[in-house]
Structure 1
Amino acid sequence: MPRLFSLFFLFVFYACSQSSDAYLKKGKELMQQGKTREAIEFINTAIEKNTSNAEAFNLRAVAYYELKEFPNALLDFGQAIKLQPQSYRPYFNRALLYTDENRLDSAFADYNKAATFAPDTADVFLNRGQLLVLMERHTEAIADFEKATRLDANNKQAWYNLGNTYYRQKDFKKATLAFRQTVKLDAQYGKAFYGLGLAQWYDGEKDLGCTNLKQASNLGYGDAGTALAQFCQ
């Protein structure tokens, strides 16, 4: 019993000595391990120790978002913004939530804020571009995807989305260029080979198109088989 008692006091002393940032760090680690509910307990303590810790409110909001507890997430995103109004992260993260709720205008407003505060962050423009596609504002989406590729030339998702949006606009030459860059960055990206093959086929490069459709099929992209049967027999 005395041993248990002394261990208890050691734990209490350790817990009391930890800073808000230490609990926040532990919360991040648990979230990376997929232990979101457990992470919230540590983030709660981080906030109790420092009620002005904007990063902790943002992280707890992300945790609630992952758990689909959207009202709690919105409250915490709002508090993070109140505490640190020029940080792009809570705007960026809240935009994801608004998109899930189909509140596209609200999401767009938050991405605009994020772009103002983080004009050199490629993912802001990638995500805003994806939202603009949902809003059927394809010309603006292309501008955002192009900016994302300029900011991060190795962002394969930005290149893929750029190619896909050009393809929807029937600009097959530009779609081909973007898809080529995508597969250069990831030679296992079957969906990108599929897009590249279709863009080339419609641009008159039928043999090259069929070659890339075959590659998409070899990589396991299901729709490629249908396209091969339709275009390459």
Structure 2
Amino acid sequence: MDKNQTGIELMKEGKWEEAAQAFMEAIEAQPNDPVAYINFGNVLTAVGDNERAINFYNKAITLDENATAAYYSKGGVYYDEQNFEEAKNMYETALKKGLETGDNFFMLGMSLAQLGNSRLALPYLQRSTELLEQDAEAHFQYGLCLAREGVIDEAIKVLEEAIELDPQHADALYNLGVAYGYKEDGEKALEMFNRALDVQPDHLLAGNGKKLIEGKDLH
């Protein structure tokens, strides 16, 4: 097993220092291979040393301007720092250079959504659900984005898919309740708010939604 593979296995076990050591040895053995620099950057990101992580991703890009994983990883650092404009740029660059993974489409969509561009986010989030068929969060975020754009029937369908994948997704249940409320289906809305509260009893928004519906029923 090469040093990069060893390091990745150690990362999975949360052994950051040992993983860093393995990647450092990989860099020493092949100083012109961008992969080890990206992997080392990922260890630094995992332990919160974002500034040094960016330096390692940049080094990888210097060695190979088409190192898509380096742009993707840089995007992750910027996203975590809530620098959504830079995150978007990194995910876009990764996409242009051929990184057509579900995760990259998802993060590009999420960055655009965070920047308030739901309409631009939609096709990327939609593509992420096609590639990440079993990912409840991808379906949830796509459904949320559709709802923001007023495409309520489609939003309901996608949010229901999210809940099928993860019946414990309280936010998806809550937003499905909102969507049914928008369609003036109080019964379904109440059912979803109750289900959200079963999963997460302190879900304030679901609690408020429930009170609102039950208040209407009293009048």
TM over 0.5: yes
The separation in 1 between residues aligned to 2:173 and 2:42, in whole angstroms, is 34
Shift of residue 168, structure 1, vs aligned partner: 2.5
Deviation at 1:116, TM superposition (A): 1.9
Structure 1 residues 106 and 36, CA gap change in structure 2 (3 angstroms): same
Identify the match of residue 23 of structure 2 among 43, 47, 52.
Answer: 43
Superposition misfits of 4+ residues, deviation over 4 angstroms: none
Equivalent of 1:228 in 190, 210, 214: 210
What's 1:89 paired with? 69
- Contact 1:197 1:212 (8 Å CA) reproduced: yes
- CA distance 1:28–1:119, shift in 2 (3 Å): closer
Superposition deviation, residue 119 in structure 1? 5.2
Equivalent of 2:170 in 181, 190, 196:
190
User: Which segment drifts farther, 47-56 or 124-133?
Assistant: 47-56
Unaligned runs of 5+ in 2: none
Question: Are 2:81 and 1:101 aligned?
Answer: yes
Letter in 1 for 2:14: G
1:165-190 deviation digits (Å, cap 9, x = unpaired): 22223432222111011112222222
Deviations, residues 195-215 of structure 1 (Å, cap 9, x unaligned): 111111111221111111111
Q: 1:70 — aligned with what?
A: 50
* Cα distance, 1:79 vs structure 2: 1.5
Distance in 2 (CA, whole Å) between partners of 1:119 and 1:88 is 6
Q: Does the alignment pair 1:127 with 2:107?
A: yes
Structure 1 counterpart SS, 2:2: helix
Q: TM-score, normalised by structure 1?
A: 0.84
Q: Which structure's CA Rg is the greater one?
A: 1
Decide which of 94, 101, 111 is 2:91's aligned counterpart. 111
Query: Is the contact made by 1:193 and 1:216 (CA closer than 8 Å) also made in structure 2?
Result: yes
Contact residue 196 and residue 212 of structure 1 kept, 8 A = yes
Q: How many residues align?
A: 213
Identity of aligned residues (%): 22
1:59 aligns with 2:39: yes
Superposed displacement of residue 123, structure 1: 1.1
Give deviations 1:8-49, integer Å, cap 9, x for gaps.
xxxxxxxxxxxxx62222211221111213321121111111
